[in-house]
Structure 1
Amino acid sequence: MPADTTALDIPLHPERQPDADAFVRAAMDWHFDPETGSPFWLRRAKSLDFDPRADVKSHDDLALFPNVAGELRTVPVADLVPRGLGSRPAVAGVFESGGTTGAPKRVWCDQDWLDRVTAWSNANLDAHGFPRGREWLGLTPSGPHFVGRLFEESARTHGTVGHRIDLDPRWVKKLIAAGKRDASDAYAEHLIDQAAEVLRTQDIGVLTITPPLLERLARREDLVDLVNRKVRAIRWGGTQLDAESRHLYRTEVFPDTVLYGHYGNTMILGIAGERAGLGDDDPCVFDTYSPYITFSVIDPATGRRVPYGERGRVVMNHVSRTLLLPNNLERDLATRLAAPEGRAGDAVADIAPVAEFEEETVIEGVY
């Protein structure tokens, strides 16, 4: 008889945070029961030196898992779909990583998860004062990238329509790696030129953009004037925004426009959101969608969490009915901070990429 996994069925807007340890135990029963687990994890469990259903009793026990993210470069994506979702689950998409550290990794996503993470993101936007019912403009990757799909859902559910400027981050990184900086600059300016046409002709209230492209936009006085006249909120993400630039945008360049950041990647099928209520001089702190998405900040030499206020490598976990991807060591450094009361894992601030990851030079480009 299958185990009781009802602890995974969290309402979209729970009155209080669910118990993270009970949630993780239910997830272990779901993903490692032969009737409900995915072919990938049921097969992979045979090589683990522990029993997930017996030994993973708390959120902290997710650290027992090996980092399997690299295996997702070659695993058939159908093998990631839990059997418990039926033979024809509501697929929202197959998504790939940006290819910053080699060949892309792939995950799948169903509509239930997309609805959940969109609702959570929309609540964050509300907390930051993003206007509802406005037209959006996004300079984001599309195609196999999860952030493009999230943009579409956010624009549709929080706004009205989403205008898109497609961005190919892999092409930019390839140009930079080949020393073709002039070509990568020309491509970035091409993106801004397209955004300018939309800003001039459409009633854009919300802008989604990456920090390198926001910097280019801010060099053009006519576009700064357009944004200040039309756009009421800017959501940035994809690469990091340094504290000095963030302060400048908030206080001088776009003083009457809400500036809100997010941090995440395809491997967690989501984002962490900037904490509401931060002052202009405060560091940008990111909180996760706990207990589904959680972070730990560790010393990679020991695997132990660093003390609060110190820097380490970011480890990401995704745990839901849709997907299990625990203990994924990321390419980013961050300062470890306490999560809001009741949430599992760590908050992070001052994100910065390492120079090399998985024997590859890390190139961020425009995303």
Structure 2
Amino acid sequence: MFSAVLDLTAAGDAAVDPDEYISALMAWHFSAETGSPYWLRRARSLGFDPVADVRTFADLDLFPNVINEFRDIPVEDLIPRGLEGADREIAGIYESGGTTGAPKRFVMFDRWMEFALSWDEFHYADLGTMNTLAITPSGPHMFGEFASRRARRHHGVKFTIDLDPRWIKQLIARGDTADADRYAEHLIDQAAQILSTQSVGILVTTPPLLERIARRAELVDLVRKQIRFICWSGAHMDADSRDIFKQEIFPEIPLKGLYGSTTILGMSRERSEDLPGGLAVFDPPSPYIVFRVVHPETGADVNVGERGQVVMNHLSKYALMPNNRERDVALMAEPLPGALGCAVADVGPVTMFDNHSVIEGVY
């Protein structure tokens, strides 16, 4: 019998003993009865005993960053053997964006996905029944499925468009910026047709595409008339752009971001209060998703208010992705009371990652 501390609690509930949680997590993922084939096999080459040696959040530093191995692991090997019944129902197999090479694949379980969605639910609680327009990737990208589930929660339908973000990245990588621009405008043309003919209350998109909407006066008017909430994610938004959207272009529409990654199977939510200077702060749902911000050269944690590289951890009974250095830099911010790790602010991409140029495109 494994500890009930691993069972999902209400979104935002950080009231668990962190050491008890980490110890139970190691026992789950590294026991033959409950662990996944991948982690049970990988444990033999770690050089330490996760159950005996990883007792605290800080001990996760012992793990190497294994995330690149997820490019070619059979997805069946990622399913923990201890999951049973409804816990084992799979929402989908989702892939990273392919920004730094071949995509990585992850198993998203239905119960986890519903929990991850609920983490941001308080932003939407009073919106009522309305339709959603998702100008987002779908297919292998979890962003589209989150938008579909958001629409169902508001008893509406989801309108979407055809969007292949990897094609734009290929165009940019080979210097074909003209075709990349034409493709991006093609996306906005599709969105414009929906906005001009359908009733939509929630707009979900990426900052580069929201910027292109803002360039068309007729679309700005349509958004102002019917959109009641804008959710952005999938790419970075700098503080100046965010301020212009909020104060000048869409001043009457709540604009909230989600910062996350497929490599953590979820996201952090934008805090209601900004940091001084208008910087958005993002809180992950501890203890299941936990951030650190570290010095890129030494790996040591930076101090509050200092800038460093983001390290992400997914720590649930559904998956284990510890100690993963992301392709982002951010300011370290104080976490919510009782939460592990830290919050992040002023997130932006590095220019090079794993010897690859970082190309965002539209996602």
Deviates more, 1:79-88 or 1:270-279: 79-88
Q: For residues 18 and 144 of structure 2, what CA distance do their matches in structure 1 show?
A: 29
Cα contact 2:306–2:331 (8 A) shared by 1: yes
Which string of whole-angstrom CA distances, capped at 9 and with x for unpartnered residues, describes residues 268-287 of structure 1?
A: 00011110133895201111
Q: For residues 87 and 251 of structure 1, what CA distance do their matches in structure 2 show?
A: 48
Partner of 2:67: 69
Q: Shift of residue 151 of structure 1? A: 1.2
Q: For residues 209 and 14 of structure 1, what CA distance do their matches in structure 2 show?
A: 24
Letter of the 1:53 counterpart: V
Partner of 1:118: 117
Partner of 2:57: 59
Q: For residues 299 and 322 of structure 1, what CA distance do their matches in structure 2 show?
A: 29
Q: For residues 206 and 281 of structure 1, what CA distance do their matches in structure 2 show?
A: 27
Partner of 1:28: 26
Deviates more, 1:48-57 or 1:81-90: 81-90
Letter of the 1:119 counterpart: S
Residue number among 330, 345, 353 corresponding to 2:341 in the alignment: 345
Cα contact 2:91–2:108 (8 A) shared by 1: yes
Partner of 2:295: 299
Which string of whole-angstrom CA distances, capped at 9 and with x for unpartnered residues, describes residues 294-326 of structure 1?
A: 110001221110111111100000011111000
Q: 1:14 to 1:225 in 2, by over 3 A?
A: closer
Q: Which runs of 4+ in 1 moved over 6 A?
A: none
Letter of the 2:94 counterpart: F
Helix, strand or coil at the partner of 1:261: strand
Where in structure 2 are there 5+ consecutive unaligned residues? none
Deviates more, 1:307-316 or 1:130-139: 130-139
Q: For residues 210 and 248 of structure 2, what CA distance do their matches in structure 1 show?
A: 14
Helix, strand or coil at the partner of 2:161: strand
Partner of 1:254: 250
Partner of 1:109: 108
Which string of whole-angstrom CA distances, capped at 9 and with x for unpartnered residues, describes residues 84-104 of structure 1?
A: 114993111111100000001
Cα contact 1:208–1:235 (8 A) shared by 2: yes
Letter of the 2:116 counterpart: V
Partner of 1:131: 127
Cα contact 1:309–1:337 (8 A) shared by 2: yes
Cα contact 2:28–2:34 (8 A) shared by 1: yes
Q: For residues 275 and 307 of structure 2, what CA distance do their matches in structure 1 show?
A: 22
Q: 1:48 to 1:353 in 2, by over 3 A?
A: same
Q: For residues 146 and 152 of structure 2, what CA distance do their matches in structure 1 show?
A: 10
Q: For residues 24 and 352 of structure 1, what CA distance do their matches in structure 2 show?
A: 30
Q: Shift of residue 191 of structure 1? A: 0.6
Q: For residues 260 and 14 of structure 2, what CA distance do their matches in structure 1 show?
A: 24
Q: Say whether residues 1:198 and 2:203 are aligned partners.
A: no
Which string of whole-angstrom CA distances, capped at 9 and with x for unpartnered residues, describes residues 230-253 of structure 1?
A: 001100111111111111111111
Equivalent residue pairs, number: 362
- % same residue: 50
Cα contact 1:251–1:280 (8 A) shared by 2: no
Partner of 1:287: 283
Q: For residues 84 and 36 of structure 1, what CA distance do their matches in structure 2 show?
A: 4
Cα contact 2:12–2:285 (8 A) shared by 1: no
Letter of the 1:189 counterpart: E
What TM-score, normalized by structure 2, do the two folds share? Answer: 0.96
Partner of 2:78: 80
Helix, strand or coil at the partner of 2:16: coil
Cα contact 2:284–2:343 (8 A) shared by 1: yes
Letter of the 1:215 counterpart: E
Partner of 1:222: 218
Deviates more, 1:187-196 or 1:18-27: 18-27
Alignment RMSD (CA, Å): 1.7
Cα contact 2:28–2:35 (8 A) shared by 1: yes
Q: Say whether residues 1:270 and 2:258 are aligned partners.
A: no
Q: 1:257 to 1:340 in 2, by over 3 A?
A: same
Q: Say whether residues 1:313 and 2:312 are aligned partners.
A: no
Partner of 1:95: 94
Q: For residues 319 and 361 of structure 1, what CA distance do their matches in structure 2 show?
A: 29
Which string of whole-angstrom CA distances, capped at 9 and with x for unpartnered residues, describes residues 302-359 of structure 1?
A: 1110111111100000011111000011111111111111111111111111111111
Letter of the 2:253 counterpart: T
Helix, strand or coil at the partner of 1:153: helix
Q: 1:15 to 1:28 in 2, by over 3 A?
A: closer
Q: For residues 281 and 195 of structure 2, what CA distance do their matches in structure 1 show?
A: 30
Q: For residues 337 and 180 of structure 1, what CA distance do their matches in structure 2 show?
A: 38
Q: For residues 96 and 166 of structure 1, what CA distance do their matches in structure 2 show?
A: 17
Letter of the 2:292 counterpart: S
Q: 1:293 to 1:253 in 2, by over 3 A?
A: same
